[in-house]
Amino acid sequence: MKRLGFYLHFLKPYLGLLAVALLCGVLFGVSSGFGIPFFLGKVFSAFFEGEAMVYGLTPFGATLLLPLIFLVRGISGYVNQYLLHYCGQKVLQGIRYDLFAKLQELPLRYYEHAASGDLLSRVVGDTQMLQQTILALANDLIRQPIQMLAGISFLIYLSVTHQHAVFLAFFLLAIPLIALPVQMIGRQLKRRGREAQESLSTVIQQMKENLNAAVEIRSFNLQESEKRNFSGRLGMYFRLQMKQVKYLMMTQPFMELLAAAIVSISFYYAWRNEVPASVFLAMGAALYFCFDPLKRILRLHNEVQRTIGALDRIEQVLNQPNDVPEPADPITPPRVRGEIVFENASFRYDESPLFDALAATIPAGCFCALVGPSGGGKSTFAKLIPRFYDVAEGAIRLDGHDIRAFRLHDLREQVAYVPQKPVLFNDTVANNIRLGRVDVGDAEVEEAARNAYAHDFIVQMPEGYHTQVGEDAVRLSGGQHQRLALARAFLKNAPVLILDEATSALDSESEAKIKEALRRYAENRTVIVIAHRLSTVSLADQILVFDAGRIVAHGTHADLLESNALYRSLCARQGIT
């Protein structure tokens, strides 16, 4: 029932079209399963037996009626197929969109446990398998059951009118004999289908990692190792695919053997009981129009079972809870001043606590530096402010408001965040800079690039600001990456700026220029800088020293040099006094 609701959500806008498709499917099934056997057994046969007129039809009229039946069958079948394919593709489009939209909403915590290759497999591979099943359903879901019911109806009619009910009883008794082994095959297909999709995700994951690590693979001579691993994963996927084929292909020969046995028994019974040839001919046609759709329906059942594993994997993403929810009654303040207060904030990754009752205040307009050993919690502290994660206990306040009271979009409009390894999209330099403000003109883009000391290298590129940076921006150095990301943040012009090791790839000259740009940019803004290279912190109004998830000291550079041994040792290692 739950899965039915899953489909109805996508089918609801197309119920009218489905009703028309159902009507056309009924016309197709009746004209096939009842109309054609009736015509062969009751009309044509009667004329060959010497009748001058049958059901008010002359032989000439009968010759016109048969093409009319096939015309109705053809038009209704076409409309049925077209509408079902249309609705099926729309359902698939809706599933793919909802899957992609869900991935945009899930918090960063989800991506720490989910492999990107597996997610790609779900979005591409699993939905592709679902597409194949939807097309198969569109082909046979309505027409074949109606055709089979029409054929059974004609068998009932013949059995009653000619007193050969044993035909009907024999046919009905054969159905459970068919269904039982098909059900067993379907269970195997369901399990093998899921295993195959999971195996495919490991293939895609290795391919993605391999392409992203081209330098490391060549540097450490890992080519042969990668080939062996990839060959092994392809071999596993092949074996699981062939297990599916083995079970999937069992259905057809079993059905054909059973159909041949029933035809043979029917022939023998008709011969022994002197059943007229016209009746046997009509009954044979009716049996065909019963068994052919039954074969297709059972094959379709197995195809659906094979796809359930892929559908389960899609539903796992769509039903994934979001632990960074939107507020029920959000506030929409104007541009904030930028005061940030951590009130007894606690946070943990899985079961490992990182912060416990953390307290800190960053005044509006403050240039605040976060320093300390790796793993101390600096990056997590910064990521909590735009709600990339949520605190488990306590609160974080922005200008006195709990940040959980803001809509995520509104909160993140107030914050510009630059990570240590920024991502540039496969687009022009200008469009990468204007990500946060797509409506600005070229002059503002250039000004932001000048402030980030990126203009000089941009104009030396083949097409300047209109140069395509390429996938993963492989044609740019690490420092150029970071300067474009800084330009992007400067252009956003948010009241809170967070730099997470955002100058780590810059040379000393570029870093000095960025420090000067930050000094100008920091006016009337709250700036939070995470830096292992402590030369940046000389600008700071306040420094927070982190160690093992705690803020062990805070103050100015001069104060901390005198009062805190950890900060003094960090500065000593870099020759800072």
User: For residue 423, with 0-12 CB atoms within 10 Å meaning exposed, 13-18 middle and 19 or more buried, which class applies?
Assistant: exposed
Contact 500, 418 (CB under 8 A): yes
How far is the CA of 542 from the CAs of 231, 399, 531, in angstroms? Answer: 55, 18, 13
With tokens 């992007």, the residue in question is 488
- Are 156 and 168 spatial neighbours (Cβ–Cβ below 8 Å)? yes
Place of tokens 């044979």: 284
Q: What share of the chain is helix, strand, coil (3-state, %, to 5)?
A: 65, 10, 25
Find out whether 178 and 255 touch, Cβ atoms under 8 Å.
Answer: yes
Provide the β-strand partners of residue 530. Answer: 370, 500
Residue 117 Cα distances to 199, 204, 225, angstroms: 11, 5, 19
Q: Give the residues of the chain that fall short of pLDDT 50.
A: 1, 4
Six-digit token string for 221: 């001579």
Record the tokens describing residue 430, joined without a space.
């200008």
Domain ranges of the chain: 2-318, 340-573
CB 440 within 8 A of CB 491: yes
> pTM for this one?
0.72
Q: Minimal CA–CA distance to 236: which of 213, 260, 206, 273?
A: 206
pLDDT, residue 539, reads: 74
d(CA 434, CA 451): 14
Q: What is the distance between the alpha carbons of residues 320 and 301, in angstroms, rounded to a whole number? A: 28
Query: What angle do the packed helices 251-272 and 165-212 form, to 10 degrees?
Result: 170
CB 44 within 8 A of CB 57: no
DSSP 8-state class, residue 552: E
pLDDT of residue 256: 67
| 143-162 vs 277-318: helix crossing angle, rounded to 10 | 150
What single DSSP character describes residue 54?
Answer: B
Identity of residue 470 = G
| Pairwise CA distance, residues 144 & 303, whole Å | 15
User: What's the CA gap between 25 and 20, in Å, rounded?
Assistant: 9
Cα gap 275→283, rounded to integer Å: 10
Paired sense of beta strands 415-418 and 496-500, if any: parallel
User: What span, in angstroms and rounded, lies between the C-alpha atoms of 303 and 278?
Assistant: 38
User: 91 Cβ partners below 8 Å, 6+ apart?
Assistant: 7, 10, 11, 14, 134
Tokens of 308: 């359930």
* 416 within 8 A of 492, measured Cβ to Cβ: yes
Q: Are 568 and 560 in contact (CB under 8 A)?
A: yes
Q: Indicate the angle between helix axes 478-492 and 442-451, nearest 10 degrees.
A: 120
Packing angle of the helix pair 127-140, 143-162 (nearest 10 deg): 30
pLDDT value for 93: 80
Report pLDDT for 42.
61
Q: CA of 220: how far to CAs of 213, 226, 257, in Å? A: 11, 11, 58
Residue from 531, 478, 484, 486 nearest 507 by CA: 478
Encode pLDDT of 391-419 as tens digits. Answer: 989 999 999 999 999 999 899 999 999 88
Domain spanning 2-318, CATH class: mainly alpha
Q: Which pLDDT does position 1 carry in this prediction?
A: 44
Quickly name the fold that domain 340-573 has: Rossmann fold (3.40.50)
> In a 3-state reduction of DSSP, which class is residue 45?
helix
Angle, CA 537 vertex, CA 532 and CA 542 arms, to 5°: 120
